Structure 1
């Protein structure tokens, strides 16, 4: 593991673990409606893990906080406006894929402005947490389903 910084407390964001795989930092939201359903979106078939259902979110831009990145991604993907004060840190996912190590903070959000719409061609679906296991999801998302089911 490569360490940088004057106090040696920072992990090199490009390499992680003994295998020196790339660390991919993404952020996601569990948007929860009044009925306790969570919004999922289907990955485009022409992308990696195409056809799988996932939580809305995306990659951070250099220098961006996770909250700012999530607010930006939700606007781009769904056309909704979210305030930082409406994002509650919930859990995180860490999963080692063949090509990279994924690290994904997940926030709960119950308040937003606008009606979520698929602005990037993806399909959207509101799903109760107890029914999420019926959908094909990326491996990193599987543990999140249990957390949501127990919490909501």
Structure 2
């Protein structure tokens, strides 16, 4: 099991540094030798941090030893750390990421691995992965999904265009990334008056950020889709408050949202009340914050 927060009675035995090496929409996976721990399984490059070694230095050493790769210019950037619990021991798992312009020539260390491949997240999640690697892949790409959702509506001029873009992004997350759950944050946006819309959007965004630190699946909120500029653009086109209510109702009915998070004071919002009613009707998992 992996955890974002320190689990009870966590007894760390060692630390591991790993790296998502990306190029051309795919990332690198190594196929472990049969005689190694978790043999015949696939995982990203990485290994144990030696005593007195920084996690960054350990990562560069492991990548060099495993695949003969020495980064020139930009080095891998730290992404996140997970607490990992196996039946016999606990360890801390550090994740890094680097985006390369092209796939490099690799020299595979045959004493460690028997093969390598570049894979999309969809392809990777269908391989026989090392323990908990699937959760790490989903965690890594969950953050990328926030950008995907935000970018999907940037050029939209109508609510119908926004809906089509967002449903397309949600479908991509469910079908290509195999996320079993996708969440939505509901709450007050316009009920406090036009002067408070920006403040309320920021509040919902901050709540969503906090929730993403606790959960291993994408969670979207109204400000991920509707910037103030987009709201103003839509309102100039004649869109009214009730149109936004219908929009979110349709998003919930799309079948891609599984969890809804009701933020404080949601009962004061006509839209949030409608979303709560819809969630009850279609059987979403409701979380009251």
Q: Check whether TM > 0.5.
A: yes
Larger relative contact order (CA 8 Å, sep ≥ 6): 1
1:133 corresponding residue in structure 2: 125
- Residues 114 and 149 (structure 1 numbering): CA distance in 2 closer, same or farther, change over 3 Å? closer
Bigger Cα Rg: 2
For 1:109, the equivalent position in structure 2 comes to: 98
**Counterpart in the other structure of 1:66:** 55
Q: Is the 8 A contact 1:130 1:149 kept in 2?
A: no
Structure 1's 102 and 138: CA in aligned 2 closer, same or farther, altered over 3 A? farther
Structure 1's unaligned 5+ residue stretches are: 1-15
Q: Hey, what's the Cα distance between the residues in 1 that align with 2:29 and 2:81?
A: 17
Give distance in 2, aligned partners of 1:84 and 1:104.
Answer: 25
Displacement after TM superposition at 1:108 (Å): 0.4
Structure 2's unaligned 5+ residue stretches are 1-6, 146-289
Distance in 2 between residues matched to 1:84 and 1:64, nearest whole Å: 22
Q: Are 2:116 and 1:120 equivalent residues in the alignment?
A: no
Deviation at 1:58, TM superposition (A): 0.7
* CA distance in structure 1 between the aligned counterparts of 2:135 and 2:81, rounded to whole angstroms: 9
- The TM-score with structure 2 as length reference comes to 0.43
Residue correspondence of structure 1 range 3-14 to structure 2 within 5 A: none
- Between the two proteins, the alignment pairs up a number of residues equal to 135
**Secondary structure at 1:139's aligned position in 2?**
coil
Moved over 6 A (4+): none
Distance apart, 1:90 and its partner CA: 1.5
CA drift at 1:17: 5.6
Relative to structure 1, is the Cα distance of residues 83 and 94 closer, same or farther in structure 2, using a 3 angstrom cutoff?
farther
- Where is the helix percentage greater, Structure 1 or Structure 2? 2
Q: Which residue of 1 aligns with 2:13?
A: 23
Separation in structure 1 between the aligned mates of residue 66 and residue 35 of structure 2, nearest angstrom: 17
Q: Secondary structure at the match of 1:94?
A: strand
Task: Report the alpha carbon displacement of residue 102 of structure 1 after superposing the two structures with TM.
Answer: 2.5
